[in-house]
Amino acid sequence: MNPSMVDSLLSKALKMQWLTVEEGLYLFEHAPISALMSAAHTMRMALVPNNEVTWIIDRNSNTTNVCVANCKFCNFYRIPGHAEAYITTIDEYKQKIDEMFSLGGEQLLLQGGHHPDLGLSFYTDLFSTLKKLYPNLKLHALGPPEIAHITKLEKSTHLEVLTALKEAGLDSLPGAGAEILSDRVRRLVSKGKCGSTEWLDIMRTAHSIDLTTSATMMFGHVETLLERMQHLALIRQVQSEKPKDAKGFLAFIPWPFQDEGTLLKKIKRASNQCTADEYIRMLAISRLMLPNIINIQASWLTVGKSTAQLCLYAGANDFGSIMIEENVVSVAGAPHRFNSTTIQEAIREAGFVPKLRDQQYQNRPLPPQLKTHIVA
């Protein structure tokens, strides 16, 4: 390690100058974790200058578990015709949304598989129906791979599909299905999903119609460290291209691959070996490589309370959702749980002030009688 090189690169990052892929890799491999954490926290305080950590009450529900993408890291999906295949009904949504509102939530994170028979009209009808039933509901739904799938089914364009979904009630587009934005990696782990270029183009299109989005990274499987840095650089570039009055990516959320029972682990291609040190390094590098994305979220669901708390001193300013319901990452071995009481306690324990937020990362008041769901 060259200490002067580390200091020079950290100084460059703190001036909000873009680190190159090679410079990010050098810092990840050579910078002391204390220096990385300190620099990332300094940048966080420059971009989000307060002692607050935001969190949200929402529910992660699924339209369907039927999927033809065959991702090797997914235990959630079922092939068409499987005995356990389902499509969620309106009555089931009503029960889920009623419970969410009773617990103080307002956002439904709605995702599902690439069902071969569910085209654009299915989703526009669903979104408009839910919005008529619940005018105050915020829909954070689908993701670029699902948009690509619907576009292919309809022989349409990303713009036409996204515009129709927005008009039907879509409020923001999650950064789902990014994994690692390298076609080499995607061929190995998620061959049935859109390629990296299409994923990025869909996000560009969403930003062009002022549809806010988030960006993610699932790391720690078959990718190289260089490919992780390239992923960050691609996200940063797309954010730089958004229209001036658009928010673009509201947040970046990195999390480690969860391997329990996955085909990727069974064929011995990858297993979850991410340590707390590696996750904190990755989160800190994300903050330093992404000066144009304001919010960085610590994935307590996958790394646990203690590591997520340390991340609040390594660039993170958001603790994400209490996840009243979550069915995808959990079935691959993510065991951690919070409710509205314990997530606030964890933030306070770390030395920060918890602030409930809305979908657009704006603070919202705590409901006067905040109920707490039972954590299984």
3-12 confidence digits (pLDDT tens): 899 999 999 9
For residue 334, name the pLDDT band (cuts at 50, 70, 90): very low
pLDDT at residue 185, as a whole number: 93
Report the pLDDT value the prediction gives residue 188, as an integer from 0 to 100: 87
Mean pLDDT across 295-309: 93
> By percentage, how much of the chain surpasses pLDDT 70?
90
Reported confidence tier of residue 241, pLDDT bands at 50, 70, 90:
very high
pLDDT value for 109: 93
Q: Which residues of 311-347 are buried (b: 16+ CB within 10 A; e: fewer)?
A: bbbbbbbbbbbbbbbbebbbebbbebbbbbeebbebb
Task: List the beta strands (DSSP E) in the chain.
Answer: 52-56, 58-62, 107-111, 138-141, 172-173, 212-219, 249-256, 295-296, 318-321, 353-356
pLDDT at 144: 96
Average pLDDT over residues 340-360: 95
Question: Predicted confidence band at 272 (pLDDT cuts at 50, 70, 90)?
Answer: low
Domain boundaries along the sequence of the chain: 17-356
**Structural contact between residues 31 and 6, judged by C-beta atoms closer than 8 angstroms:** yes
Residue 320 vs residue 167, higher pLDDT: 167
Q: What are the b/e assignments for 214-233, b being 16+ CB within 10 Å?
A: bbbbbbbbbbeeebbbbbbb
- 10 Å Cβ neighbour count for 161? 26
Q: Using CA atoms, how far apart are residues 358 and 57, in angstroms rounded to an integer?
A: 8
Residue 267 has pLDDT above 80, yes or no: no
| C-alpha distance across the termini of the chain, in Å | 46
pLDDT one-digit tens code per residue, 63-78: 988 888 777 767 777 8
Q: Is the pLDDT score of 376 beyond 50?
A: no
Topology annotation, domain 17-356: TIM Barrel (3.20.20)
Taking 50 as the threshold, does the pLDDT of residue 208 lie above it? yes
Answer with the residue of higher pLDDT: 372 or 154: 154
Q: Write down the mean pLDDT value for the chain.
A: 90
CA gap 135, 148 in Å, rounded: 28
What are the tens digits of pLDDT across the range 94-137? Answer: 999 999 999 899 999 998 888 889 999 999 999 999 999 999 99
Q: pLDDT (tens digit, 9 = 90+) per residue, 169-206?
A: 999 999 998 999 999 999 888 888 999 999 999 999 99
Those residues whose C-beta lies under 8 Å from the C-beta of residue 183, and which sit 6 or more positions away, are: 195, 196, 197
CA angle (312, 271, 321) in 5-degree steps: 35
- Supply angle C-alpha 68, 322, 45, rounded to 5: 105
pLDDT at 80: 81
The pTM of the full predicted model, rounded to 2 decimals, is 0.92
Residue 333: the pLDDT is 41
Inter-axis angle of helices 144-154 and 196-208, to 10 degrees? 90
Taking the C-alpha atoms of residue 364 and residue 376, their distance in angstroms, rounded to an integer, is: 27
